[in-house]
Structure 1
Amino acid sequence: MVFFLRGGGPPQELRQSRILLGTVVEISVWEDAEGLAREAVQAAFAEMARIEALMSPHVPDSDVARLSRAAEGLEVAPETAAVLALGLDIARRSDGAFDLTLARLKELWDLEAQNPRVPRSEELAAALEGIGPQALRLEGTRVYKAHPTLAVDLGGIAKGYAVDRAASVLEQAGIADASINAGGDLRLLGRRGERPWRIGIRHPRDAEEILTILDVSDRAVVTSGDYERFFEKDGQRYHHIFDPRTGFPSTATQSVTLVADSAMLADALATAVFVLGPRQGLEFLAAFPQAEALVVDADGQVHATAGMAELQR
């Protein structure tokens, strides 16, 4: 979770929010011409709704829902193919720590249930059978599945793509300074008045404590944490970021904050680093020189890339 640290003063800041992509999306525009800003913000929301209709597993005729129902594969929209391509690339480069094929596993855990439970070992084994980046093949805009029951979930990357698309809509409308926040996936354009956008990163074990403050312009910031959706049983926390190698929630990390040039990339990298843990995760990030990360491990110790210090206040 992130907090905007706000200050007063002109020009006027316009803020609007909508429920999209299963979360609250807030767009803030730092702009004198309020009429232009309102129109641009509405267009940005409409673009995010379009991406949701295209890639949400909960929309029956979306590319993702149709692909999960398909026996072998099908043709998808070029945008969906591009998101799949990046997701599969990150999945392979992270040795499967980021995975687009965990839909059945997420259904099994069902963290939204009134009384969630820990699945039995045989249930987990069945949900993990045949998953991984090798189970999907992309040829142009046609996607092939290794077996009929494979289900796809772009939740770890499509929200970031929608945020990036909204940012593009704002830029095309002439908006230079704005922020888009989709449940912790942030894209920050320009500045907030006389200074960069100031982002407070919450402590993963204390919602009232700010772990650090980042000054960011023209980049994306994504935070993934084990405090977002979870239940506890017998003193163990079971959250929504699953390790594809075990079928259980990853235990190496409490939270990851990832800064990158796009929200889509930051979204995928944050999940991969969370699952890999601080040591392997930061080693993995060395292949992405445009990305910076701050990782809180299972013991509450903070690890960070060298470049993160330049963003911290």
Structure 2
Amino acid sequence: MPSNLPFIHRFKAMTVPCEVQLFGSPNASQIAAVIEQNTYRLEQKYNFYSEQSWLTCELNQRTGHSVLLDDESLVVFQTLKNLVTGTAGVFDPTVGSLKWLLNNNASLSRTQAYQIAQPMMGEAAWHIENNQLIISHDETRFDLGGVIKEFAIDQAINFAESMGVSAALINFGGDIRVLGTKPNQEAFNVAVVNPHESTQAFFSLPLVNSALTTSAHYERKTQFSDGQSSHILSEKGTHSKVLSVSVVAPSALEAGAISTALTIAPSLPVPEEVAVIFIDDQLKIHQDTEFLIQ
């Protein structure tokens, strides 16, 4: 295989198509297999909907107010705590509490569900002491679905780099992180889809050693007894003028948390190393939030 062409490996995990592109390694097929198996492992460990996952058995079905975290889970929750704090609590992994309520009582209206879930959710509902996760409310539930997909992307890049890959692109369901540049020294050109037609590219961005995630609320929905809501759950809802938010950040996990938070509160400040692109309800592109006050 010519060295300027990638080794490409595809599989499905975490409900999305996954693609691994690796450059510059004679062991690319073995590295791709390691990435695939690790992705399946993370999916099994942190699956909110599986009765056998660590997340369900050890955390969401806990019998007390503390859970001992293994080294990997400690890293995950420490990172999440930083992202929750950095988004002023808008990004909230305890939203699983609301999903748990709806799974157990489909007759709840949106207002009723949020009223009941309010004590179970939010930044104050949990904290970390040493390697213990402390949860104050018995019924607090964590949903790490998107988080673990992005964590898997970051781990895939780490695997690739540590195993001698010179450049890589990891794409799990449109959440992307790249390592280095293409062999011709060009950046990876990554497309963001049209919110009204998901098979069409709307614009593209060059990426080098960075991640891109897009959060949008125009496809999947959450069902309450009195109607539907975006799958991005927030009591005040997603912002009516924002169709999608694309974020470029050093890691996929950071990009994903920030893009999710900005669909709810688009005026949140972001770190200097983060770039943001909004698509508004008129299909116009913005790199700042001036459009919110027009």
Indicate the TM-score class for this superposition, using the shorter chain for normalisation.
0.7 to 0.9
Q: 1:269 aligns with which of 240, 245, 258?
A: 258
Native 8 Å contact 1:161 1:264 kept in 2: yes
Cross-structure match for 2:83? 90
Aligned to 1:132: 122
How far the C-alpha of 1:198 sits from its partner, in A, is 0.9
SS at match of 1:43: helix
1:38-77 aligned within 5 A = 38-65=29-56, 66-70=58-62, 71-77=64-70
Structure 2 partner of 1:175: 165
Alignment of 1:1-313 (within 5 A): 11-31=4-24, 33=26, 36-65=27-56, 66-70=58-62, 71-107=64-100, 119-194=109-184, 195-230=186-221, 238-243=229-234, 245-246=235-236, 248-277=237-266, 280-281=267-268, 284-285=269-270, 288-304=271-287
Equivalent pair of 1:54/1:80 in contact (CA under 8 Å):
no
**Structure 2 Cα separation of the partners of residues 17 and 205 of structure 1:** 26
Q: Structure 2 CA distance, aligned partners of 1:202 and 1:11? A: 27
Q: Which amino acid aligns with 2:165?
A: I
Could you tell me which amino acid in structure 2 is paired with residue 263 of structure 1? A
Instruction: Give how far 1:181 is off.
Output: 0.8
Quote how far apart the aligned CAs of 1:50 are.
Answer: 2.5
Query: How many angstroms does 1:207 deviate by?
Result: 2.7
Which 5+ residue runs of structure 2 have no aligned equivalent? 290-294
CA distance in 2, matches of 1:74, 1:207: 40
Q: 3-state SS of the aligned residue for 2:93?
A: coil
- The answer (yes or no) to whether the contact 1:229–1:240 under 8 Å persists in 2 is yes
Looking at structure 2, the residues matched to 63 and 31 of structure 1 have their Cα atoms a distance apart, in angstroms, of: 36
Find the aligned partners of 1:303 and 1:133 in 2 and give their Cα distance: 30
Residue 294 of structure 1 contacts residue 302 of structure 1 at CA under 8 Å; is this kept in 2?
Answer: yes
Identity over aligned pairs, percent: 22
CA contact (8 A) 1:187 1:219 kept: yes
TM-score (norm 2): 0.85
Per-residue deviation, 1:129: 3.3
CA distance in 2: counterparts of 1:29 and 1:164, whole angstroms: 14
Residue 261 of structure 1: how far off its partner (Å): 0.8
Deviation at 1:120, TM superposition (A): 4.3
In structure 2, relative to structure 1, the CA distance for the partners of 1:133 and 1:193 (3 Å cut) is: same
Change (3 A) 1:120 1:212: closer
Question: Given the two structures, how large is their TM-score scaled by the length of structure 1?
Answer: 0.80
CA contact (8 A) 1:187 1:263 kept: yes
What secondary structure, in the 3-state scheme, does the structure 2 residue paired with 1:148 have? Answer: coil
Alignment CA distance shift 1:40-1:157 (3 Å): same
SS of 2:97's equivalent in the other structure is helix
What is the letter of the counterpart of residue 87 of structure 2? S
Distance 2:145 2:38 in 1: 17
What letter matches 1:276 in structure 2? Answer: A
Paired position in structure 2 for 1:113: none
Call closer, same or farther: CA 1:232–1:38 in 2, change over 3 Å. Answer: same
Distance 1:118 1:258, change over 3 A: farther
| Larger CA deviation: 57-66 vs 217-226 | 57-66
Deviations 1:245-295 (A, max 9, x none): 33x455342111111111111111111112112xx13xx11xx11111101
Give structure 1 stretches of 5+ with no counterpart: 1-8, 111-115, 307-313
Deviations 1:132-172 (A, max 9, x none): 01000111221111111110112242221111111111111
